[in-house]
């Protein structure tokens, strides 16, 4: 009897504790923020489970109807603030105490370990310091010919469909950017464009699908139920392929760096891949273990391919559907290349592509490859007099921020010239690469790559709208996609 009584007290105590930690504290501090109608325990979870429109549409619906700071209850345990407010973005991104990523990022751990994207605390800080110099302008110059040679293969692919009335460019562009990042990060080629069936390419694709499925599926979210799913087995298989590829490359590059005959070593060029720079940093006493290097190389492979792929696909779509803007970008190419469109661009050429840069920025504003990114509070934080409790997720919804007419008049229009006088004026209104300490370390690389590939394509083709005209159906996976593809048409330039 006493035991039963004690057990009852324990259960009661546990329930009160859960109520206090997950309901009362949040209710007390966050009631000032507007929130859509919800149901007990599940909160707004059903809005996401039963939408036929997708996650992105639900978030946009909340923002349109409840404002630029919305309180969302994604389940019994979790609450988030959905933020598209300028001051709040600035507050979060400049606060050195809000650096921890939200729990969703843990689904990447089996693949990326705790590389830059997923790590936090002392490990993240140390790695960021060691890796930052590898993205210096001087080093990026070496990658220009990788961009050009892979863009040429993409042009060949487009040539084969230049009579077509409508081509879905999304996957083709993504294979190109996978080749580019593989060569830049590891110094090897997976030939994704020429061999999209390769085991490595398929495994990377599978991992992206599996991770996103875990974010949204209640069964796959929890490790012990995920263990019984087909995806668990698929993940194990894919990771075996990906990790053994990365390990093999690391071992080969390590041996090469040790070898005396660097200069004349057949098969290797003088250009250094990111991996070489990390291995060198290691031998200079910076102390990244080989496992940590593996994590970072896989992180580059993940972070550096479908982001730029999406970015390029959407800018091509924007130019195809805005003939006047395309003409301006093309004019700039003519000024730089004269009649010699076959000349490979130099790094200085890329810097001089100012109008193309504005067009890419405008496309990133409308179609940010990372439409939101999140932080989790590991302690209470005070924001404009309100306590934001520990455990709260802050979701920075850059897609909605970019479409706020207060910051960008006529937000739905593609107007590259708005970036002519933009820089520096409102630094927290345009954030495709995030900002502050955890901003995108690869943004200069990404911008150079996107310019280079788009320039190569524009020098080869006039881009036209597809027939019939194509309306994008935007949706959010690990990145922004269009669920019905990104369709345009090509006309070869003579
Ligand atoms: C258009 C292309 C790209 C876009 C839009 C983009 C966007 C972003 C964003 C929004 C973040 C912050 C994510 C967060 O807070 O959770 C980020 C972080 C990061 N990006 Fe990119 N990215 C791009 C290309 C690249 C490339 C090419 C690389 C590598 C070569 C790269 C490597 C990284 C890494 C390592 C981080 C984590 C940085 C840290 O936390 O210290 N990204 N990126």
Structural domains in the chain? 25-102+371-431 (3.30.43.20)
Residue minimizing CA distance to atom 16 of ligand 1: 373
* Mutation choice for ligand 1 from 114, 275, 303, CB with most ligand atoms inside 8 A: 303
Whole-number Å distance, alpha carbon 441 to ligand 1 midpoint, is: 6
Q: Count CB atoms within 10 A of the CB of residue 329.
A: 23
Helix axes 144-159, 170-186, angle to 10 degrees: 150
Residue 332 · residue 356 · CB < 8 Å: yes
Where does 187-269 have alpha helices with state H?
Answer: 199-216, 218-221, 223-226, 230-258
Least confident stretch, 12-21, 308-317, 356-365: 12-21
Q: So what's the pLDDT on residue 17?
A: 67
Q: In this structure, what DSSP letter does residue 114 have?
A: T
Predicted ipTM > 0.95: yes
The DSSP bridge pattern shows strands 480-482 and 167-168 to be: unpaired
**What DSSP state is assigned to residue 43?**
B
Give the Å distance between the CA of 409 and the centre of ligand 1. 27
Q: Report the share of the chain in percent with pLDDT over 70.
A: 95
Contact 454, 356 (CB under 8 A): yes
Query: What pairing do the DSSP bridges indicate for beta strands 393-396 and 79-83?
Result: parallel
Residue 88 CA neighbour count, 13 Å, CB half: 23
- Does the structure show a pLDDT above 90 at 25? no
Q: Is 441 in the pocket of ligand 1 (CB under 6 A)?
A: yes
Residue 208 near residue 303 (C-beta atoms within 8 A): no
Instruction: Give pLDDT tens digits for 203-257.
Output: 998 998 899 888 777 788 889 999 999 999 999 999 999 999 999 999 988 888 7
pLDDT per residue as tens digits for the range 95-153: 999 999 988 899 999 999 999 999 999 999 999 999 998 888 888 898 999 999 999 99
440 among the known binding-site residues? yes
Which residue's alpha carbon is nearest to atom 21 within ligand 1?
A: 440
Give pLDDT, residue 282: 75
Predicted confidence at residue 236, as pLDDT, reads: 96
pLDDT digits (tens, 9 = 90+) for 35-91: 999 988 888 888 887 776 788 999 999 999 999 999 999 877 789 999 999 999 999
Q: Closest Cα partner for 187 from 317, 101, 300, 44?
A: 300
The predicted-structure confidence for 252-274, as pLDDT tens digits, reads as follows 888 887 775 555 554 455 678 88
CA–CA distance, 401 with 420 (Å, rounded to integer): 19
Q: How far apart are CA 117 and CA 133, in angstroms?
A: 17
Res. 415: pLDDT tops 90 = yes
Position with higher pLDDT, 82 vs 494: 82
Atom of ligand 1 at shortest range from CA of 398: 10
């Amino acid at each position: 009897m006493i035991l039963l009584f004690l057990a009852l007290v324990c259960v009661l105590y546990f329930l009160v504790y859960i109520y206090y930690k997950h309901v009362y504290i949040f209710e007390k501090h966050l009631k000032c923020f507007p929130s859509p109608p919800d149901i007990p325990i599940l909160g707004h979870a059903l809005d996401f489970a039963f939408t036929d429109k997708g996650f992105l549409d639900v978030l946009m619906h909340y923002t349109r109807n409840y404002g630029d700071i919305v309180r969302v209850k994604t389940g019994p345990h979790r609450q988030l603030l959905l933020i598209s407010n300028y001051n709040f973005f600035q507050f979060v991104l400049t606060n050195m105490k809000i650096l921890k990523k939200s729990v969703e990022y843990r689904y990447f751990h089996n693949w990326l370990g705790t590389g830059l994207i997923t790590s936090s605390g002392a490990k993240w800080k140390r790695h960021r310091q060691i890796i930052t110099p590898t993205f210096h302008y001087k080093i990026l110059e070496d990658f220009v010919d990788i961009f050009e040679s892979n863009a040429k293969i993409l042009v060949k692919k487009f040539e084969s469909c230049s009579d077509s009335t409508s081509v879905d460019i999304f996957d083709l562009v993504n294979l190109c950017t996978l080749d580019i990042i593989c060569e830049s990060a590891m110094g090897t080629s997976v030939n994704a464009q020429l061999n999209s069936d390769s085991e490595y390419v398929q495994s990377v694709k599978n991992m992206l699908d599996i991770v996103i499925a875990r974010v949204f599926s209640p069964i796959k979210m929890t490790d012990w139920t995920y263990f019984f799913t087909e995806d668990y087995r698929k993940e194990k298989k894919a990771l075996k392929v990906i990790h053994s590829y990365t390990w093999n490359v690391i071992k080969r590059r390590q041996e090469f760096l040790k070898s005396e005959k660097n200069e004349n070593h057949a098969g290797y060029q003088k250009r250094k891949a990111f991996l070489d720079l990390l291995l060198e940093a290691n031998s200079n006493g910076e102390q990244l273990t080989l496992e940590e290097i593996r994590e970072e190389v896989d992180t580059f492979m993940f972070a550096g391919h479908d982001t730029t792929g999406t970015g390029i696909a959407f800018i091509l779509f924007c130019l195809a559907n805005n003939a006047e803007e395309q003409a301006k970008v093309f004019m700039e190419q003519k000024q730089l290349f004269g009649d010699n469109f076959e000349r490979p661009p130099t790094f200085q050429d890329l810097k001089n592509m100012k109008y193309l840069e504005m067009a890419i920025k405008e496309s990133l504003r409308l179609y940010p490859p990372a439409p939101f990114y999140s932080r989790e509070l590991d302690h209470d934080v005070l924001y404009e007099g309100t306590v934001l409790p520990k455990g709260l997720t802050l979701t920075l919804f850059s897609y909605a921020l970019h479409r706020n007419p207060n910051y960008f008049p006529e937000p739905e229009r593609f107007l590259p010239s708005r970036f002519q006088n933009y820089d520096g004026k409102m630094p927290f209104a345009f954030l495709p690469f995030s900002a502050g300490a955890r901003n995108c370390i690869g943004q200069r690389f990404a911008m150079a790559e996107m310019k280079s590939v788009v320039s190569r394509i524009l020098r080869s083709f006039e881009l036209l709208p597809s027939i019939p005209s194509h309306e994008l159906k935007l949706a959010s996976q690990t990145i922004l996609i269009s669920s019905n593809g990104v369709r345009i048409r090509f006309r070869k330039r003579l």
